[in-house]
Amino acid sequence: MTTHPELSGGDDAPAPLTHEQLRELYALMSAVRRLDTAAVAWQRQGIIPGYAPELGQEAAQVGSGYAVDRTRDFVFPTYREMGVAKAMGLDMVGYMSTHKATWHGGMYNPLESRFAPIQAVVAGSVLHAVGWAHGQTLGGPTDSGVAVTYFGDGASSQGDVHEAMNFAAVMKAPVVFFVQNNGWAISVPTERQVAGGSVAARAAGYGIPSLQVDGNDVVAVYQATRSALAHCRSGNGPVVIEAMTYRRGPHSTADDPGRYRTLEEERLAAGEDPLERFKQRLLADGVADEAFFVEAQRAADEEAEAIRTGIEELGPRPGAEMFSMVFQEPTPDLQSQATAWREESEHV
């Protein structure tokens, strides 16, 4: 892990993880892996219309999400942060409801969970995160919440990211820009769309400290995120984290990665599986035994089946919500559309 020399968190430096926490991290990663592969199968079976897999990114997501302080921080995700949601304790049926297109914002309470609604606009979450983080600086020294915003290497080329980083740096907004560099912007490899090959290197242009971390090492990701949060919490402004990982599957269930890379290229570039890597580490350090891993897999299978049942039982939301959730004060045009829809619906 490469650390910027100015990154400092005062007295809130990350403490070593206990054996219990290490086992919990593995259990979370195992549950995320199982739910992720299950969700792809559900899409193929017609249970959900679409899904963005994260196979290979479990360590980056669980490690960072596990570091968040859910009493004061706030996470602003994209459409691929299922692992972060799981690590933060969200109701996963509520989270997955968005992928079923039952509810556009997720059937969970963002204020209680500290997890903003899923953002489908590429790089859209960074603007919301910086705005929220800037708000934390306006409430006095007692407000020590930090925003964590997720985006990929492809999204880093969006102008919104540059504007957000510049504003955050100028205003010293407490925000962690967490980049999951999974090697691909849909079908375009990182080296063809990120000048210099590193998103973290761009941070220096805004005077922002950065860390580039092994995104397949869950402990390293946790420690990097905790350090970045501490830096922001101490009033030092934003931090950029670039977690180097690899997207082992398609960009989405509508994507065919075989059109732009071979299975052999994928195998060689992906490296060691983050889940298997962590398992071997826990075994070698005597933190867990084979019985623990068997139980973790059983629990993951059971949870995935319960989530599937919950998703299938979700009914449709009231159609009127598509009008009531648009503006705080409805416009005349919106009211007219709502009236027309209501009159037409009553005669269906």
Residues catalogued as catalytic: 247, 251, 260
Hey, what are 260's tokens? 């732009």
In whole angstroms, give the CA distance from residue 66 to residue 86.
9
In whole angstroms, give the CA distance from residue 80 to residue 179.
12
Hey, what are 244's tokens? 């180097």
Task: Single out the residue of 301, 290, 270 nearest to residue 183, CA to CA.
Answer: 270
In whole angstroms, give the CA distance from residue 294 to residue 292.
5
- Cα distances (angstroms) measured from residue 43 to each of 47, 141, 254, 293: 6, 47, 10, 28
Rounded to a whole number of angstroms, the CA Rg of the chain reads 21
3 state DSSP class of 19: helix
Hey, what are 316's tokens? 């449709």
3 state DSSP class of 101: coil
Contact 271, 216 (CB under 8 A): yes
Where would I find the beta strands (DSSP E) of 208-250? 210-214, 239-244
Dihedrals φ, ψ of 230, to 5°?
-65, -40
Q: How many DSSP H helices and E strands does the chain contain?
A: 13, 8
